[in-house]
Copies of this chain bind each other. A is one copy, B any other.
Amino acid sequence: MCFRAMPTYKLYYFNRTAVGEGIHLLLGYGDQEFEECRLKKEDWPALKPLMPFGQVPVLEIDGKQYAQSTAIARYLGRKYGLAGKDIEEDFQIDQIIEFYNDIRNRASATFHETDKNIKARIQEDNEKNHYPFMLKRLDEIITKNYGHMALGKLTWADFVFAGMYDCLKLLLHISDLDKKYPSFKKLQEKVLTIPEVKAFREKNP
């Protein structure tokens, strides 16, 4: 008789939600036990070179390291039946995630600008020339997909968005985001109230 040990999962990330949170929610959905390795800022310089790309989140499965938040989410999504049924459907998920990443990257770069005056200038440009189009388009797409990011049903992209949304609001720094684009908050709530996700979050507050 042959026993196969359960695989060991470890998630390395800082003590915050941000891009690591979608991975948490996916692991919760998959009812996957894992060890939480919250990194301290003072330990990071020593740990950085040990990570595949000098970044976290990193998911370790039986000692093998999986890096880059979107790649990890896609991998877990395919594992848990949250991907498309063919390459055309997977493409639908991938394109919306890449568009969402464009928004997140823009907001993140602006948020982390250290010069106050420059930050104000970039934020003004974003609010005038970029965010209205991008956020409206994303809102329309989610609405058209019955409250999901793609395929009109639950996919791993929903977990990525839901996990990041609170942080995204902070990065975007736009008032009344929930009201202006009502599909966003609804999508987050939809994911957070999935029974497996809800149970996971109650156990891991």
Chain A residues with a Cβ under 8 A of chain B = 48, 52-55, 66-72, 74-75, 78-79, 87-88, 90-91, 94-95, 97-99, 102, 105, 109, 115, 118, 133-134, 137
What residues of chain B lie closer than 8 Å to A66, measured between beta carbons?
91, 95
Instruction: Tell whether, in the assembled complex, residue B95 and residue A52 are in contact, meaning their CB atoms are under 8 Å apart.
Output: yes
Q: Known A78-B87, A79-B87, A118-B115; judge A134-B98 contact (CB<8 A).
A: no
A162 to B90, CA, bound (A): 24
**Closest Cβ–Cβ distance, residue A8 to chain B (whole Å):** 16
In the bound complex, what is the Cα–Cα distance between A68 and B91 (angstroms)? Answer: 10
Q: Could you tell me the distance between the alpha carbons of A52 and B98 in the complex, rounded to whole angstroms? A: 12
A95 is contacted by which of B71, B99, B133 (Cβ under 8 Å)? B71
18 A–B contact pairs at CB < 8 A?
A53-B137, A54-B133, A54-B134, A55-B99, A55-B102, A66-B91, A66-B95, A67-B99, A71-B94, A71-B98, A72-B91, A74-B91, A74-B94, A75-B88, A75-B90, A78-B90, A115-B118, A118-B118
- Assess A94 versus B109: contact at CB under 8 Å? Given A118-B115, A137-B54: no
Report how far A105 CA is from B48 CA in the complex, Å: 20
- Cα distance A98–B105 when bound, in Å? 13
Contact of A53 among B53, B55, B99, B105 (CB under 8 A): B99
